[in-house]
A and B are shown apart, each in its own frame.
Chain A
Amino acid sequence: MKANRLSLAVGLLVAGMAPVAAQELSIGLKSEATSMDPQFHNLATNTQVNKNIFESLTTQSSVQKITPGLAESWEAVDDTTWRFKLRQGVKFHNGSDFTARDVIYSFCRVPLVQNSPSSYTIYTGDIADMEAEDDHTLLIRTVDKNPLLPVNLWPLAIVSADALGAEDTVTYGPEGTCEGMGEVPQAPAFNDPDIAVGTGPYKLENYTRGAELVLSRFDDYWGGTPDWERVVMRPITSNGPRVAALLAGDVDMIESPPIQDISRIDDAGFNIVDALSNRVIYLHLQQLADAPGIGGTDGKNPLMDKRVREAISLSINRDAIAERIMGGYAEPAGELLPPPMFGTSGRAVDPYDPERAKELLAEAGYPDGFTLNLGTPNDRYINDEQVAQAVAQMMARIGINTTVDATTASQFFSRRNALEFPIYMAGWGAASGEMSSPLKALVATFDADTGMGATNAGRYSNPEMDKVLIEAMSTIDEGQRDELLQKAETIALDDYGIIPLHYEQTVWAMKPELTYEPRMDQYTMAREVKPTTTE
């Protein structure tokens, strides 16, 4: 009865719709953007919202391929110089034309944003100089060879130099030494639609913190008329209420419905889309002689023995985790990024072989196993604590008695960074969509001077891998870089320096008259939600 009524209602709705489709779209998000300033907090939650209003020189497609954005094309002139051809005829929301001056101003503003909890300078720090050859041709010079420049430009939003009060000429200088910037408005000013001016398909209409963000269509958008007259985004942080809001018709679409509710939403006639994400869940093993939380080994750290690391990997039944605990919304991982993304080798997933694992432990001198603490967050990744519990049980079966130490994310990350866990489970989503991201952050030797291994809290170190990786990171040729990254990853995985478990799948649920092409970076971007064609 209920389903009948619903399908009837939906039928009426679709029939009553003009070909231009429904005019309003409302989305329930699981977290809220902290600011409307696209250069304030470098965080996925903010990016996915800001990208509707602001655009960048380059764009990442749903499978994280770099495609032209506000730059039509680009080329590497030499090892450290890039020439970007900017798109002509692009207008900002306030009617001013998009030129090279806006780009220079935008990049100049990044280091001048005050109180940023996580600055975008990680992308601009490498830019030595910028020069406008004409209004739509821009030269960018980097300090070192940087093949990732086009990738790094995607998070850097282009703001309007006119709206923010720049002078007629803006001259680039590194680290906040630009000239002609005028009085730079700070993040709180961006609640004003006259300041939050971008080139994107939607204009900011109203932002009420905690309640809703309202966008309206930008009719002069260069990429054609956007699909929705009005877009409302509401943060609904708890899972249950978010699902209820969808079922009750308060919102048209939600992100990340909890796995256990998906079949119910599906049964109610909603459209479910899902895709593999770029987020790998992995185990990291501490490689310091005095690792804490290990028992029964006379003070030695057994994890420094490659055979023990291999045994742990073989002890884990990844298929069972993906099927039972993740409800099928995960895929067993053999690498740090799902193939065929850039730098992956298509390496096979480690098999489930507890017998061989026990042999390896015996060979390494631990026939009776040992005890271990496994650290994990319990509110950060999909079903994270349950996954960790399963891993602990599987390890216990080969003799490694594992206790799960699950805490809330804020505590987990602090304790992990203080090296309190001999083994921990965490996740990594490669924002750049290519292999150098996980390798540089998780596997490379921890070195504060070069910025390598910043998230390598296992302190794994393999100089051979480091060498190949560094070479890859300064190789401009795509084919060669791909090969080098594959080689670096293979070295690390052959050595079991890090143990991949699974790739998370991201799920969206929406009314049947909507479609969304799922994105690997897990972003929910209103601009990409389309009405189903009623032809």
Chain B
Amino acid sequence: MIVYLVRRLGQSILAIIAMAVLVFAGVYFIGNPVDVLINPEATQAEILATTQRLGLDKPLYEQFGIFIWNALHGDLGTSFVYGRPALEIILERLPATMELAVVALILSVGIGIPLGIWAGLRPNSLSGKTIMGGSILGFSLPNFWQGMLLILIFAVLLGWLPAGGRGETRAFLGMQVSFLTWDGLSHLLLPAINLALFKMSLIIRLTRANTREVCLQDYVKFARAKGLAGRRIVLVHVLKNIMIPVVTIIGLELGSMIAFAIVTETVFAWPGMGKLLIDSINLLDRPVIVAYLMLTVLIIVSINLMVDVIYSLLDPRIRLSEMKG
């Protein structure tokens, strides 16, 4: 177990460093942030002064060296745009994104798994086929378009829900969250549905396929023969055995929902990290971009680690020490 964790940690650090190098160089080659940030009326002397102040006049390797040195001391750089520590700006936005991702995850799991099991148990019924047809739709609609459509229907035409923004927030465990007020919840619903639809479809399909497979297993047949209630067979014997692949997918998808809810956040003007990333890329705010992606790698790696631990709990045959990380 410990060997496994250490090996995993080492790999994560390598991934984070590789990410930092790639992004650092990538942003450097896009352009010079000063050209975007400076007031057009500035003179050459002002431009030079700003370039020097941001340290952009130094060669790339030197800039990178300074960055690594500071990073080792816990400083991921100061945002060019906001003049504040990059990490602080990102963490400020984290609760909004986490909240959105968690609600979307609850929606997709809470709706996706029951529907998937239903469709798996009755593959040839009309309801089963409808669920599968719907999941294809959820899969194939482009996120951006789907979001605009949700806004058009529920906000513009029906006027039931607001078109965007975050609404009222309350402090909860030291974070500002919006699901505690009706106003906040109404703002949260549409973006969460938009983010959830794709994952939900994925979970429906996965659950259905696994349910069908598990239903053919001997232990299910035996349970039926023994005269167990249908409910008990599904909830205990089927559900537990379809969970391993589902947990994997949920883990992967949660990571990607936190890190890359960019489209949804942009369409719904949701003040999360994804929107911050897009804005930062447009302004070439390198410290924020680099810190963001490093944080992302960290989040995804930790979620995967958690998934592995949950694996071993779900299936006692799996030993972490034997897994190749």
Instruction: List chain A positions with a Cβ less than 8 A from chain B.
Output: 2, 32, 34-35, 40-43, 114-119, 121-122, 186-188, 208-212, 234-238, 240-242, 244-245, 247-250, 379, 408-411, 413-415, 417, 428-429, 431-432, 437, 441, 446-448, 451-452, 454-455
Contact = CB atoms under 8 A, between A and B. Distances in A.
B223 interface: no
A118 B50 contact: yes
Nearest to A117: B37
5 contacts: A117-B37, A248-B151, A248-B159, A431-B41, A437-B41
A234 B36 contact: no
A43 B282 CA distance: 15
A408 B83 contact: no
B82 A34 contact: yes
B314 to A, nearest CB: 38
B47 A454 contact: yes
A48 B43 CA distance: 22
B35 A240 contact: no
Contacts of A437: 41
A244 B164 contact: yes
Given A122-B42, A237-B269, A240-B267, A414 B32 contact: yes
A248 B162 contact: yes
B32 A244 contact: no
Given A117-B83, A122-B43, 20 more contacts: A34-B82, A41-B37, A117-B54, A118-B50, A119-B49, A209-B93, A210-B93, A238-B266, A240-B267, A241-B268, A245-B164, A245-B269, A247-B156, A248-B155, A250-B155, A410-B282, A410-B283, A410-B284, A414-B30, A437-B41
B45 A234 contact: no
Nearest to B48: A448
A143 B152 CA distance: 58
Contacts of A409: 36, 282
A38 B156 CA distance: 36
B164 A250 contact: yes
A413 B31 contact: yes
A250 B271 contact: no
B65 interface: no
B32 A417 contact: yes
A212 to B, nearest CB: 7
A371 B296 CA distance: 46
B89 interface: yes
B271 A241 contact: no
Contacts of B36: 409-410, 413-414
Contacts of A186: 83
B40 to A, nearest CB: 6
A249 B42 contact: no
A294 B38 CA distance: 30
A235 B268 CA distance: 11
Interface string B188-229: 000000000000000000000000000000000000000000
Contacts of B157: 2
Contacts of A429: 40
Contacts of B93: 209-210
Contact of A212 (B54, B152, B165, B284): B165
Contact of A209 (B30, B31, B89): B89
Given A237-B269, A238-B267, A119 B282 contact: no
Nearest to A432: B41
Given A118-B37, A122-B46, A209-B92, A241 B151 contact: yes
A415 B31 contact: yes
B75 interface: no
A185 B157 CA distance: 48
Interface of B: 30-33, 35-50, 53-54, 78, 80-84, 89, 92-93, 96, 148, 151-152, 155-157, 159, 162-166, 169, 176, 266-269, 271-272, 275-276, 278-279, 282-284
Indicate the member of B148, B165, B282 with the most A CB atoms within 10 Å. Answer: B165
A51 B159 CA distance: 33
Contacts of B271: 208-211
A448 B46 CA distance: 10
A462 to B, nearest CB: 19
A201 B37 CA distance: 29
Contacts of B164: 236, 241, 244-245, 250
Indicate the member of B157, B164, B266 with the most A CB atoms within 10 Å. Answer: B164
Given A34-B81, A40-B83, A116-B83, A244 B39 contact: no
Given A122-B46, A248-B151, A234 B84 contact: no
Contacts of B80: 117
B163 A250 contact: yes
Contacts of B166: 211-212
A114 B31 contact: no
A248 B155 CA distance: 5
Smallest CB-CB A-B distances: 7 pairs = A451-B43, A414-B31, A210-B271, A115-B83, A248-B155, A211-B271, A448-B44
A485 to B, nearest CB: 16
Contacts of B38: 117-118
Contacts of A235: 269
A264 to B, nearest CB: 11
B31 A244 contact: no
B162 A250 contact: yes
Nearest to B93: A210
A454 B42 contact: yes
Contacts of A40: 83
A244 B152 contact: yes
A210 B275 contact: yes
Contacts of B32: 414, 417
Contacts of B282: 379, 408-410
Nearest to A209: B92
Indicate the member of B31, B49, B283 with the most A CB atoms within 10 Å. Answer: B31
B99 to A, nearest CB: 13
Contact of B163 (A241, A441, A454): A241
A519 to B, nearest CB: 18
B276 A244 contact: no
A241 B45 contact: no
Contact of A244 (B46, B47, B156): B156
Nearest to B160: A248
Contacts of B266: 237-238, 241
B151 A119 contact: no
Contacts of B279: 32, 237
A236 B270 CA distance: 9
Contacts of B30: 410-411, 414
A411 B35 CA distance: 9
Contacts of B269: 234-238, 241-242, 245
A283 B159 CA distance: 45
Contacts of A250: 155, 162-165
A454 B269 CA distance: 36
A211 B84 CA distance: 18
Contact of A410 (B31, B39, B155): B31
Contact of A441 (B33, B41, B82, B151): B41
A114 B53 CA distance: 9
A240 B266 CA distance: 10
Contacts of B40: 428-429, 441, 455
A327 to B, nearest CB: 21
Nearest to A447: B44
